[in-house]
Amino acid sequence: MTHAIRIHENGGPEVLRWEAVDVPDPGPGEAVVRQTASGLNFIDVYFRTGLYPAPSFPLTIGNEGVGVVEAVGDGVAEAAVGDRVTYCMSLGSYAQRRIIASRLLVKIPDGIGDEQAAAVMLKGCTVQYLIRRTHAVQPGETVLFHAAAGGCGLIACQWLKHLGATVIGTVGTREKAELARAHGCDHPIVYTEESFVDRVKELTGGKGVPVVYDSVGKDTFDDSLRCLQPRGLMVSFGNASGAVEPFRPVLLAQKGSLFLTRPTLANYTATRQELEETTAELFDVVGSGAVRIEVNQTYALQDAAEAHRDLEARRTTGSTVLLTGA
């Protein structure tokens, strides 16, 4: 018998339940993974609250994990029994053991630990597609990245500096500003103390930036558009403060023929080749030391409700990992 965190209805952290579950034998194209850690991400909150509809109840949430392959079904070529693997964008990671499609599994390179891998897979792959493909950041560009001291933010600040960009980032406190600065953010802005729009315009000589990366959502969307230069790109990839309100597309014309995209990691890793190319580049920058992955909080998996409360209250920085104890 093994255990998992499951929800039987949408709601607050209190709906997260530690329950005994059965794990079936793997079928064709499947593997059973004994998990050591699961990453904590805001997308987990979205599934818990119902912002992202659950496929069915009861539901084991969580979207990235790390572990060792215990068994494989017929036709599995991506992993073998005993391999240390990681994955993301597959519901069910809040579990000690689970079954998963083997095409989603990626072998972890030597030198990258389990907690590090659990902390970097979803957020690191997200940063890769954002800054390398959604808008391919060029040396010398100035970009705005919201929540610069968060899990994606700290990875993005380092990677953007590695690419030769100038990084402007928003944070909620002076302590988070120093954390972001220590990870490559050239100009951290404490949004509770000053207007990030005014500061961005000041830093760019009134021109604005070519791209804004915004995972905050409702609270920052309108002002983010004001930070863009004509024909700039607004990348809305999260809803930490709530979903963006509906608006008329003519607004984009009025603010300078702007572009808007709402990308997802699933669409950018839809094929095995895209997944392998994304993770190869991610593990390369992590392995080289250009991007440091720091796990700033760990919780036991059975304490997932506490972890969710801290995440939603913005009491966390960097990456958070749930340890399975398996």
**pLDDT tens per residue, range 116-162:** 999 999 999 999 999 999 999 999 999 999 999 988 999 999 999 99
Under the banding of pLDDT at 50, 70 and 90, the label for residue 239 is confident
CATH number of the domain at 139-262, out of 3.40.50.720, 2.60.120.260, 3.30.70.270, 3.90.1010.10?
Answer: 3.40.50.720
Buried-state track 276-300, b at ≥16 Cβ within 10 A, e below 16: eebbeebbebbeeeebebebebbbe
Mean pLDDT of 261-274: 95
This prediction's pTM:
0.88
Residue-level pLDDT at 215? 93
2-119+295-323 and 139-262 share one fold: no
Task: For residue 182, give the amino acid letter.
Answer: A
Mean pLDDT of 23-40: 96
**Could you state, in order of their start, the residue ranges of all structural domains in the chain?**
2-119+295-323, 139-262
| Mean pLDDT score of the chain | 95
What is the Cα–Cα distance from 130 to 320, expressed in whole angstroms? Answer: 21
Residue-level pLDDT at 106? 96
Residue-level pLDDT at 19? 97
Q: What percent of the chain has pLDDT over 90?
A: 88
Residue-level pLDDT at 326? 63
Residue-level pLDDT at 318? 75
Q: Which residues pair with 38 in a beta bridge?
A: 65, 322
Contact in structure between 238 and 216 (CB atoms under 8 Å): yes
Under the banding of pLDDT at 50, 70 and 90, the label for residue 201 is very high
What is the Cα–Cα distance from 258 to 201, expressed in whole angstroms? Answer: 17
Task: For residue 194, give the amino acid letter.
Answer: E
Contact in structure between 20 and 1 (CB atoms under 8 Å): yes
- Pick from 3-12, 185-194, 310-319: least confident: 310-319
CATH architecture of 2-119+295-323: Alpha-Beta Complex (3.90)
Under the banding of pLDDT at 50, 70 and 90, the label for residue 99 is very high
